[in-house]
Structure 1
Amino acid sequence: MASKAAHKRLTREYATISKNPPPYITAHPSDANILEWHYIITGPEDTPYHGGQYWGTLIFPSNYPFAPPAIRMHTPSGRFQPSTRLCLSISDFHPKSFNPAWEVSTILIGLLSFMTSEEMTTGSVSGSERERKYLARKSRWWNSTGGGSQNRAALKGNVKAGDGGAKFRAEWPEVDGENQRWMTEHKIDPVTGDPIGGSNCGPQLGIAPGSGQRQAVVDAVVQQRDAAGRGWMSSRVWIFVGIVLLYTGVARWLGWDSDRPRTAL
């Protein structure tokens, strides 16, 4: 439960951020708990996240602003591990470095700045530009379907694929409605997130860096490459045998047989 000071501070900050939201950022506290905030970052231009819709949470301690929140981004981005606490100077990993003068907008601007950099920390990943663009294209689908999940029971705690988009829909009903219309207009398959009847130009299955699935794909490619190499070696052997047989036949036809007398030059 929020302290009186935390409740007052967060109520004031909600009024401020609603009236003057930072660029690319929108946020609000949950109706059920003022200490649980939900934010959406829209991917800025000139970044691999352009057009992406990145949803996450800030979980504030009861003694805020004298301690920082836990920061998570639930939407897969290729930059952060989904639903994982992020180790930042503005997060609960570093309570001693937190400045009570910092507000929700300060925290989210700092998160966006870190997101668009390549600095690594606990909870971050090093995805390729192609992976990040691919995930940006699928972000609306992921948020509103829970990653294609058919299970409609919302999860408690960390939000992960599996709740069918229920938590996102509860916190962002208007945004979810826009996402649903967008998926209908673009004929997006609600199970896969890809255009129905279209080709998937992203990384195979949208596999995250470092996952077991990704390694399995790499291993399969290596096996195919090795098999192709063995096939090429086998072909070279048969080509060599054919050349030897051809040479022998031509030699006999020209009278190069060792049992016949050769014509003197």
Structure 2
Amino acid sequence: MATKAANKRLTREYAALSANPIEYITAHPSESNILEWHYILTGPPATPYHHGQYWGTLVFPSDYPFAPPAIRMHTPSGRFRPNFHPKSFNPAWEVSTILLGVLSFMTSDEMTTGSVSGTSEQRREFATRTRWWNSTGGGSTKRTLNGQPEVQSSNTRGFGAIKAGDGGKKFREQWPEIDEENWKWMEQTRMDPQTGRSLAPVVQKEEGTASTSSCSPETDALRKRANGSNAGLGAVVEGGQAARDAGRGWFGRHWGKMAIAAIFAYVIAARLLSDANA
């Protein structure tokens, strides 16, 4: 239970944060326990986390602000361990200061307490599935997209083998409006709630029948990779590469060769002009 001083301090900080929202940061205390705060960090542009939705909790000690909170990030990010504490702490820091520090640390390359190593590509792939992970509990939900029969999911570890298992219940309790937005997004992108992978689009073949069809050989190849037997990060990275290749034209795939050819032509032309002026 929070002390009177901690309760007063956290109540004041929530009022200040509500009155002056911080870009890319949303946070609120639990209705049943002011020592438990839930936050969402939105990945800033020009970072591997762009458009990512990173949900976590701050668990404050009863004597806050004289001791630091435990910081947890539930959403897999490729940057943080699930639980960590600030390396140093100042009682003058507020909730907004702490979360700004988490966001700043997240978007830096510094390796210290609470961090994990990972490539930018891996972190981008995690970012594309953060909303799915939050609202399905890492694929452990029984809810399905419109028109699909309800299934009992056996996936209790979720994308990237990160343990989840509550079906998204805790996230939905704390962020009901955002949860509903996430489900609408999954509907629009045709993302399988149990696997986090793309579902084959349904097209009308003849009246009264339906079949699946690919828009192009590249898209078909991407779908086969994404829905193959390997559901880990390697399959996701491979699928992302296929998507990029499918979206490039001939110039995009051969820009390196063209650049070398241009440089070579420039050198030859310079030599010819030099010989002509000699």
State the TM-score, normalized to the length of structure 1: 0.68
Contact 1:80 1:125 in 2 (8 A): yes
What are the equivalent positions in structure 2 for 1:27-176 lying under 5 Å apart?
27-81=27-81, 84-89=82-87, 97-150=88-141, 160-176=163-179
Residue 181 of structure 1 is matched in structure 2 by: 184
Letter of the structure 2 residue corresponding to residue 106 of structure 1:
T
CA deviations on 1:168-214 (whole Å, 9 max, x unpaired) are 00111111011011111111110111221273678x63439xxxxxx
Q: Partner letter of residue 129 of structure 2?
A: K
Partner residue, 1:207: 233
- In the alignment, is the contact (CA less than 8 A) between 1:88 and 1:121 conserved in 2? no
C-alpha separation between the residues in 2 aligned to 1:150 and 1:19? 35
Q: Bigger radius of gyration, 1 or 2?
A: 1
CA contact (8 A) 2:35 2:61 kept: yes
1:150 Cα offset (Å): 3.5
Give the superposition deviation at 1:120: 1.5
**Structure 1 unaligned blocks of 5 or more:** 90-96, 153-158, 209-265
1:80 and 1:205, CA in 2 relative to 1: closer, same or farther beyond 3 A? farther
Q: TM-score, normalised by structure 2?
A: 0.65
- State the Cα RMSD in Å: 2.3
Instruction: Classify the secondary structure of the residue corresponding to 1:205.
Output: coil
1:143 alignment partner, SS class: helix
Aligned 8 A contact 2:68 2:86 in 1 = no
Residues 101-149 of structure 1, C-alpha deviations (whole Å, 9 max, x = no match): 1100000000001101111223321111111111100000000001101
Give the percent of matched residue pairs that are identical in Structure 1 and Structure 2: 67
Report the CA distance between 1:79 and its aligned residue: 0.5
> 5+ unaligned residues in a row in structure 2: which ranges?
144-161, 201-218, 235-278
